[in-house]
Amino acid sequence: MADLDLLTTYRRMFAAPEGELVCWWYFGTCNVEVPGFPEMNVTAAETVMVYRSEDISEDAFRLTWWEVGYFRDPATGEIADTWLNPVTGRTVKTPKLFEEGPAVLTITRDGAGVKVDLVQAHAVIRGVDVTWKIEGDRVFLNQRERKARGLPRTDGTLPEEGASDASEGITNLSIYAALADVEGQESVATCTGSYTFELAAPAPWMGFDSDEGRMIIRGRMEKTAMNAILNPIAWARLKQLLPHAFDSDALIPRWS
């Protein structure tokens, strides 16, 4: 087995070593939990993120990401429009779409591990922690991001830093790959994974009478080559809702 370190593994699993653009597809469900009631499903989220890596030095690289996403009604499968809050009985407006980034991660070798610095608009970063392990012929990498931020508002905008509709949150990204793919010569290693995103309060648009509770998005991640259309329905809806982000059937990252 070739010697692998976390810096190399991180770059090959999250992105590609030569600066090639890759996509990560996120498919999740958005639930809310308030005191006295069980967890309730609100909507589904479907997102495509574009990642690019750039050399800084032998011991550091920069990872830039940008994303477009939309919300889907979990019952009809159509683009979300409203949600019936089962606690209050009121029908409320939901977000349809959002766009975020570019954000920048700087990954630096730190002994046997890495140090990760994140700069992300609309978020106050508390810290980023990365762990990894090799089990047999599989590689596992986990990134935990602690930050204060909010859910998209009904018009698709994101709360600014310190806004009243932002709260403390944790994003957890868990990705897996074959050891042979991470060690191999292919520029884009095949990876899959799962993610969770939790906020310490429901979004105001959900229509509860207080901000007690929490919001949880959890789902699946799939890495593909740039503009490989993994889910044609989600791709078509993103083009419909965010036409400025596309040139024909190609995504145009905001940093382009």
Contact 231, 25 (CB under 8 A): yes
Nearest to 79 by CA among 97, 93, 67: 97
**Preceding amide of 102 cis, omega within 30:** yes
**Amino acid 255: pLDDT:** 86
**Amino acid 1: pLDDT:** 41
pLDDT digits (tens, 9 = 90+) for 41-68: 999 999 999 999 999 999 999 999 999 9
User: Which structure tokens are listed for 227?
Assistant: 């503009």
Structure-token match 């030095």, residue found: 57
Residues of the chain with pLDDT under 50: 1
Nearest to 69 by CA among 42, 101, 21: 101
Rounded CA-CA distance 46/72 in Å is 7
pLDDT digits (tens, 9 = 90+) for 210-234: 899 999 999 999 999 988 999 999 9
**Predicted structure pTM score:** 0.94
Who contacts 135 (Cβ-Cβ below 8 Å, separation ≥6)? none
Q: Where exactly are the structural domains of the chain?
A: 6-251
Phi, psi of 237 (to 5 degrees): -70, -40
**Amino acid 189: pLDDT:** 85
**Amino acid 185: pLDDT:** 67
- CA 139, 141, 146: angle at the middle one, nearest 5? 175
